[in-house]
Amino acid sequence: MNVANVVVDIPVAQTNRIFDYKIPPHLEASVFPGMRVIVPFGPRKIMGYVLQLTDHSDIEKIKSIDDLMDITPVLTPELLHLGKWLADYTLSFYISTFQAMLPQALKASYEKEIHRLSNELSSDLERIIGERDHIPYQEFIDSGGSYRVLQQAIQAGDLEVIYHVHSKETTKKHTMIHSILDPLQLEEAIANLPQQAKKKKKILQFFQEHKGPIVKKQLLNQLNTTHSTVKQLINDELLTEEKVEVYRNPYQYREIERTKPLPLMNQQKKVMDEICEALDRTLHRVFLLHGVTGSGKTEVYLQAIQHALEKGKEAIVLVPEISLTPQMVTRFKARFGSKVAVMHSALSKGERYDEWRKIHRKEVQVVVGARSAIFAPFENLGLLIIDEEHETSYKQEEHPRYHARDVAIHRATYHNCPVVLGSATPSLESFARAKKGIYHLLSMPERMNEAKMPSVQLVDMRDELHAGNRSMFSRQLKQAIEERIQRKEQVVLFLNRRGYSTFVMCRDCGYVNNCPHCDIALTYHRNNQRLKCHYCNYEEKMPNNCPECDSDTIRYFGTGTQKVEEALQEMIPEANVIRMDVDTTRRKGAHEKLLNQFGNHQADILLGTQMIAKGLDFANVTLVGVLAADSLLNLPDFRASEKTFQLLTQVSGRAGRHQLPGEVIIQTYTPEHYSIKLASAYDYESFFKKEMLMRKTYQYPPYFYLTLITVSHPNQAKVMEITKTISLLLRKHLSESVRILGPTPSPLTKIKDRYRYQCMIKYKNEPNQRKILRKILAYFENDMRKEELFIQIDLQPYQLM
């Protein structure tokens, strides 16, 4: 076994294959599949993953592995297989899928250096390199070094270029101080100190009382002493210091009170029995748990996980990024303590790496995390749970374009274990599969403690306008808010927009300022009176008069959270408002702080965007207001109705979760739309039927599969031509039953000065599709490398803009 099959760190089609490398004798016993290695590639050194070991290669001039980057493999055999499958399934490169499975910190970083080989260089080079033996490549370029001069010098044997590959991972270390003296020796040392050495004395006395080592920082704080004093004692050989590796601890959970499993209600018991049966019999089964908000799904997850742990197995729980609140994490930590790792994109690179290492070292058995936690390197999986399975954030919108649900089911097949998909509003795809018996449907229709779902009132904003109310708050909502404030109850207000910024429109002629590069409305920023593009950062001054008709009635339109906050303050000055949106939660920890403030009743109203729609559980919230239900309904996306239904249901679930009854007010310009009407009646089944009918009529998922091909290029004629060629090739090579739409301009036809065109494949069963798409990609590969052509293929699109 002295040959390694390696996938190299160059994500292009040409290198998307296996390369053979010889394992040099001194590394022979140390290389294993799943390790990162450094290998020579052309003139460079790059990182690669070892897939397999063999004892034969057909390559004549086989090169050798340069070095190892890992002591133990970072990818398990299962994950290596999964990565290969995923790359084929999503039409990605092998290297991209392996990278996607690992924390950022394990990516390689590359450094180029220029080394001097000769004592005499040309004066130009002497000027740049000077006395030194080598300099960073970038410095060479920055100081005016040219490629030609460099090439000549390399040919003449005066210089060489050396490539370094580094791993980016770092570990955090604490300096620990301890005493090396026994109590008697300490006593003596103290007595021997001169009278004036009070500080030293204090430290040694501390170690008389405390036997173990202490973190240096803590010692300094506690004794109010200095580095130099400690240093002197170390020099005197009375104390020693030592660096100890510690985990970065993103959540401080010292005070978490442990919880015990609750006695289950009937509907929970039934669900639990089914999941445990699959667990006990090591059956791969996919359950769709349809349970209304507050029906006790999370408690079922917790107990099912416990069952898996008792059988010596491990569990992964996926939660959407925005629901991964401290409240949510606490529920898991409170039940399983230090057995839990948390993988969250808000963690720093280092923190994520530390959490990953806990899994890798088998120090934890449970992972709670967002999408990429599905790749946790467990080897003995017993249960995979995806909460809020309908959330589109489970689909990765960059290479590799995978859906966590597909990955979960694939892993569960390998481990022969159950998958639980949970939601109050399952995706149409999943519910349809459950109805067909592909998934096992489990239902929890009742809320805990017989709490009722809050009553929902729809308010027609057109009526408000006709009645002369031009504000963004209907009379009903205003009154309801005032009542809550009087009763010292709390309110959640939801708006589907970000920031203060919104578009500018002329009330006279309807003119809207668009970005000249991106074809989307510019947004108004009040602080500097400017209009900005949210894609490319283009900006211009806010005009005083309409550029079309010169009217002075041009002004911003629509509502952002900041504007709502101001209007709210004006309408109800005594109200205390916390605003939560992208802008107020940008800083680390801000999210948690604001929620805590609201939880402690430091404010009456929590006003926010999507991020407050889920997961929050506050006992005192009795009113939820939705300001403009229509904003989602009008996106160019065939899932717009489904998304509106899901969002309204979710938002409503925030009210009246405890003793106090809840009320929901939804403001809309189209109260007659079925997704708004049925969401207000909590009628998922009727919505499902109605929406399935629409999907069938217009040939959308789950009746048809979609593939979206988006082509972009700075030259519009070129994009149109290439997209046309692609659609012709598809028409020619795919089967008759397939429908090909387009080419058409994408809804966002221009982003960052690139034109975007698309075509869409609608199909029921097309086994050859991937092969043909790969060929098309290969056909354009040269153009993609040389020119500024992008072809993006999404085999299960969720973003249709």
Q: Write the secondary structure of 267-317 as one string of H (helix), E (strand) and C (coil).
A: HHHHHHHHHHHHHHCCCCCEEEEEECCCCCHHHHHHHHHHHHHHCCCEEEE
370 binds, among ligand ADP, Zn ion, none (CB under 5 to 8 A by kind): none
546 binds, among Zn ion, ligand ADP, none (CB under 5 to 8 A by kind): Zn ion
Cα–Cα distance for residue pair 364/761, rounded to 1 Å = 43
Task: Identify which of residues 144 and 510 has a Cβ nearer to Zn ion in the complex.
Answer: 510
Token pair belonging to 607: 């006003």
Which of 760, 755, 659, 643 has the alpha carbon at shortest distance from 706?
A: 760
Burial per residue of 300-323, b for 16 or more beta-carbon CB atoms within 10 angstroms, e otherwise: bbbbbbebbbeeebbbbbbbbbbb
Token pair belonging to 32: 């294993």
Task: Identify which of residues 291 and 560 has a Cβ nearer to ligand ADP in the complex.
Answer: 291
Cα–Cα distance for residue pair 114/140, rounded to 1 Å = 8
Q: What is the DSSP letter of 701?
A: T
CB 546 within 8 A of CB 508: yes
Task: Identify which of residues 36 and 654 has a Cβ nearer to ligand ADP in the complex.
Answer: 654
Task: Identify which of residues 295 and 325 has a Cβ nearer to ligand ADP in the complex.
Answer: 295
Residue 261 CB, shortest distance to ligand ADP, in Å, is 9
Beta-sheet strands, E only, within 581-662: 605-608, 621-626
Residue 637 CB, shortest distance to Zn ion, in Å, is 21
- The position carrying tokens 């043909």 is 772
Task: Identify which of residues 292 and 789 has a Cβ nearer to ligand ADP in the complex.
Answer: 292
Q: Write the secondary structure of 329-395 as one string of H (helix), E (strand) and C (coil).
A: HHHHHHHHHHHEEEECCCCCHHHHHHHHHHHHCCCCCEEEECHHHHHCCCCCEEEEEEECCCCHHHE
Strand-pair partners of 385: 317, 420
Among 509, 582, 619, 778, binds Zn ion (CB under 5 A): 509
357 binds, among ligand ADP, Zn ion, none (CB under 5 to 8 A by kind): none
Residues 85-144 that bind ligand ADP (CB under 6 A): none
Task: Identify which of residues 137 and 535 has a Cβ nearer to Zn ion in the complex.
Answer: 535
Task: Identify which of residues 2 and 267 has a Cβ nearer to ligand ADP in the complex.
Answer: 267
Residue 654 CB, shortest distance to ligand ADP, in Å, is 11
Residues 685-744 that bind Zn ion (CB under 5 A): none
Cα–Cα distance for residue pair 317/249, rounded to 1 Å = 20
Residue 753 CB, shortest distance to Zn ion, in Å, is 8
Task: Identify which of residues 204 and 546 has a Cβ nearer to Zn ion in the complex.
Answer: 546
Token pair belonging to 323: 């629901």
For residue 196, report the phi and psi dihedrals to the nearest 5 degrees: -80, -5
Task: Identify which of residues 114 and 624 has a Cβ nearer to ligand ADP in the complex.
Answer: 624
CB 201 within 8 A of CB 261: no
Residue 752 CB, shortest distance to Zn ion, in Å, is 7
291 binds, among Zn ion, ligand ADP, none (CB under 5 to 8 A by kind): ligand ADP
Token pair belonging to 56: 């034969």
Task: Identify which of residues 301 and 500 has a Cβ nearer to ligand ADP in the complex.
Answer: 301
Regarding 268 and contact with ligand ADP (CB under 6 A), the answer is: yes
681 binds, among ligand ADP, Zn ion, none (CB under 5 to 8 A by kind): none
Token pair belonging to 507: 């009330």
Among 107, 134, 440, 517, binds Zn ion (CB under 5 A): 517
Residue 263 CB, shortest distance to ligand ADP, in Å, is 6
Backbone φ/ψ region at 800: left (φ over 0), alpha (ψ -120 to 50), beta? alpha
Residues 550-569 that bind Zn ion (CB under 5 A): 551
Task: Identify which of residues 293 and 707 has a Cβ nearer to ligand ADP in the complex.
Answer: 293
What is the C-alpha R_g of the chain? 31
Residue 113 CB, shortest distance to Zn ion, in Å, is 39
Task: Identify which of residues 535 and 703 has a Cβ nearer to Zn ion in the complex.
Answer: 535
518 binds, among Zn ion, ligand ADP, none (CB under 5 to 8 A by kind): Zn ion
Burial per residue of 210-248, b for 16 or more beta-carbon CB atoms within 10 angstroms, e otherwise: eeebbebeebbeebebeeebbebbeeeebbeeeeeeebb
For residue 426, report the phi and psi dihedrals to the nearest 5 degrees: -55, 155
Residue 268 CB, shortest distance to ligand ADP, in Å, is 6
Regarding 213 and contact with ligand ADP (CB under 6 A), the answer is: no
Q: Nearest 5 degrees, angle CA 532-CA 745-CA 536?
A: 20
The site for ligand ADP, by CB under 6 A, has a size of: 14
Residue 458 CB, shortest distance to ligand ADP, in Å, is 24
Regarding 585 and contact with ligand ADP (CB under 6 A), the answer is: no
| DSSP β-ladder status, 340-343 and 366-369 | parallel
Residue 375 CB, shortest distance to ligand ADP, in Å, is 25
Stretch that binds ligand ADP, among 214-222, 263-271, 558-566, 676-684 (CB under 6 A): 263-271
Alpha helices in 623-706 (DSSP H): 630-633, 640-652, 674-680, 684-697
Stretch that binds ligand ADP, among 197-205, 262-270, 463-471, 599-607 (CB under 6 A): 262-270
Residues 519-548 that bind Zn ion (CB under 5 A): 533, 535-536, 538, 546, 548
517 binds, among Zn ion, ligand ADP, none (CB under 5 to 8 A by kind): Zn ion
Regarding 265 and contact with ligand ADP (CB under 6 A), the answer is: yes
538 binds, among ligand ADP, Zn ion, none (CB under 5 to 8 A by kind): Zn ion
- The position carrying tokens 């978490």 is 256
573 binds, among Zn ion, ligand ADP, none (CB under 5 to 8 A by kind): none
Site string for ligand ADP, 272-311 (x = CB under 6 A): -------------------x-xxxxxxx------------
Token pair belonging to 43: 């003139």
121 binds, among Zn ion, ligand ADP, none (CB under 5 to 8 A by kind): none
For residue 442, report the phi and psi dihedrals to the nearest 5 degrees: -120, 140
The site for Zn ion, by CB under 5 A, has a size of: 15
Strand-pair partners of 710: 758, 792
Residue 593 CB, shortest distance to ligand ADP, in Å, is 23
Regarding 511 and contact with Zn ion (CB under 5 A), the answer is: yes
> Between the CA of residue 373 and those of 239, 301, 408, what are the distances in Å?
43, 16, 10
Cα–Cα distance for residue pair 214/234, rounded to 1 Å = 14
Task: Identify which of residues 422 and 608 has a Cβ nearer to ligand ADP in the complex.
Answer: 422
Task: Identify which of residues 307 and 713 has a Cβ nearer to ligand ADP in the complex.
Answer: 307
212 binds, among Zn ion, ligand ADP, none (CB under 5 to 8 A by kind): none
Among 549, 693, 728, 778, binds Zn ion (CB under 5 A): 549
630 binds, among ligand ADP, Zn ion, none (CB under 5 to 8 A by kind): none
- The position carrying tokens 């092969």 is 771
Residue 294 CB, shortest distance to ligand ADP, in Å, is 5
Residue 507 CB, shortest distance to Zn ion, in Å, is 8
CB 341 within 8 A of CB 364: yes
Regarding 515 and contact with Zn ion (CB under 5 A), the answer is: yes
Non-local (6+) Cβ contacts of 784 within 8 A are 777, 790, 791
CB 386 within 8 A of CB 368: no
Residues 593-652 that bind ligand ADP (CB under 6 A): none
Residues 439-458 that bind ligand ADP (CB under 6 A): 448
Contact residues for ligand ADP, defined by CB under 6 A:
262-265, 268, 291, 293-299, 448
Residues that bind Zn ion (CB under 5 A): 506, 508-509, 511, 515, 517-518, 533, 535-536, 538, 546, 548-549, 551
